[in-house]
């Protein structure tokens, strides 16, 4: 089986993004307070700008369709899944500390609330996107705790 250069570069890009997110999650869980402040000052504006850029691409057109998610044959009405995930994580997800105070984990292994597809990646069970179609290039590296 041969892979195009675009497929290989796409997989490298996806792996780099997953690794960056894993690193930020680990920092949030294990870093001391001064390190957290430093990371927050540098990373929060970058993450906010990333969300803004992605959401701008999914702004509804004059018909109320998402131009990015829509195809010639299927129109995707707003709010598309990108806006729904954004709302869940940026607005509704703001309630997460309340759930923690009641002893209910909001993220982590075995929980689905607040996670996007593929976020609970495991080498032994890759997501369908990692095993089919254009994404089936390399088995993702296991996430270590």
One digit per residue, pLDDT tens: the chain, 145 residues? Answer: 678 889 999 999 999 999 999 999 999 999 999 999 999 999 999 999 999 999 999 999 999 999 999 999 999 999 999 999 999 999 997 665 544 444 444 444 433 334 444 444 434 444 444 443 333 344 444 545 4
CB 118 within 8 A of CB 127: yes
| Cα–Cα dist 145/139, whole Å | 18
């Amino acid at each position: 089986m041969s892979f195009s250069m675009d497929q290989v570069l796409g997989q490298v890009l996806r792996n780099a993004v997953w690794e960056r997110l894993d690193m930020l999650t680990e920092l949030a869980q294990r870093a001391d307070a001064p390190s957290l402040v430093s990371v927050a000052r540098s990373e929060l504006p970058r993450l906010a700008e990333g969300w803004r850029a992605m959401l701008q691409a999914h702004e509804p057109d004059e018909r109320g369709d998402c131009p990015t998610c829509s195809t010639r044959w299927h129109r995707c009405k707003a709010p598309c899944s990108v806006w729904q995930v954004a709302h869940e994580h940026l607005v509704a997800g703001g309630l997460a500390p309340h759930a923690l105070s009641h002893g209910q984990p909001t993220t982590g292994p075995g929980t689905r609330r607040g996670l996007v597809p593929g976020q609970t990646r495991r080498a032994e069970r890759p997501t369908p996107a990692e095993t089919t179609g254009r994404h089936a290039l390399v088995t993702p590296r296991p996430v270590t705790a």
